[in-house]
Every structure is written in C-alpha cells, then in structure tokens.
Amino acid sequence: MTKFTINLHGKDTDIEVTRQGSHLHINLEGVTAEVELIHADGAQLLLEHILPDGSRRRLRTASHTSSGDNRQLWVNGRYLTYQRVRQRGQGGGLGDSSLAAAIPAVVSEILVQPGDAVAEGDRLILLESMKMFIPILAPYPVIVAKINCTTGESFQAGVPLLELDKLEQ
C-alpha cells in the first residue's frame, strides 16, 4: 500500500493506493474504488472502473502531465488538477525523506551516488516493471544521503530505495 497526500481543490486529502498486478484499489476519504489498468503508453492510459456489482465502466485517460508537484489529469472529458504534498522531516531516521516505487520492480540502473546534489526532476534510479522502464525522479533539490538498493535487485512497493537530505540553499 502506498499512502500520500494531495492538495485537491485547496484541501489536503489523504489517498491510499494498493496495487495487485493490473488492479488498483484507491481509497479517498474512506471511499474505495477499484480500477484496472488495461493499457499504458507513456502519458496515455486505458483504465476500467470496476463497479461494486462487478460491471465495468471504461475510463480513458487522454493526458497526464506533471511539473514538479503540480499534476493535471484528463479523464473522460474532465480535468482534475491537483498538487502532491510532500512531508519532509519524517521517516524514522531516513534523512529528510526517502523515495520508493509504487509497484514491485527490479532496479535497472542507479544514476547517482551518495553525496550527489541533484535538481528537481533529475533521474535518480531507473526501474523495470511489467516490461516498462520507470524513472525515480528527485522531487525537489536534494542531496542523495544513502542508496538502499543495488542494480538487479527486486523489491516490493513501498520499500525505500534511497534516502535524501534537504539541500541547503
């Protein structure tokens, strides 16, 4: 399960996402929805919403864009604009923050070393999952404090891959 907070319509909202293969269980403010990822091609997704009676409603995501923590999602003709909220200084001794993948994956390439200062959006690690390559990006300017994985290592979702320290500016 991956937990995060987004700012939706000016209000911080907690979301929990659990992924089992191509199925996502999304819990938003106590309401859970099940979605199946039918196809992914970059920012283009084909999703189906699985209703409680087992019937399905096709959702087409025509566009997903991001810039830093700002996100915009277009689904079935409706735009959803939200902002990812990061909680720094938490993590039980894991520096200012740690980064983990949202799905089980294999580390394909580690692109940084401990002590490297990186800018927001820089690629830190390249993962492979379900025949797709997924970059782990710096969420803001940071210093890489520790790397908790090795190339070729497989891991479950939510396992901290690397630890980050806030970059003093």
Task: Give the tens place of pLDDT for each residue, 47-68.
Answer: 888 888 889 887 766 566 666 6
Are 94 and 119 within 8 A, CB to CB?
Answer: no
- Say how many C-beta atoms besides its own lie within 10 A of residue 35's C-beta: 20
Ordered by start, the domain boundaries in the chain are 2-85, 97-166
In this predicted structure, what is the pLDDT of residue 43?
65
Rg (CA), the chain: 17
User: Do 2-85 and 97-166 have matching folds?
Assistant: no
DSSP 95: B
Q: Which amino acid is at 83?
A: Q
Residue 109 has pLDDT above 60, yes or no: yes
Give the CATH number of domain 97-166; options: 3.40.50.620, 3.90.1150.10, 3.40.50.740, 2.40.50.100: 2.40.50.100
| CA gap 139, 136 in Å, rounded | 9
Start-to-end C-alpha separation, the chain: 34
Structure tokens at 58: 């096709």
The CATH architecture one would assign to domain 2-85 is: 2-Layer Sandwich (3.30)
Are 159 and 137 within 8 A, CB to CB?
Answer: no
**pTM value > 0.85:** no
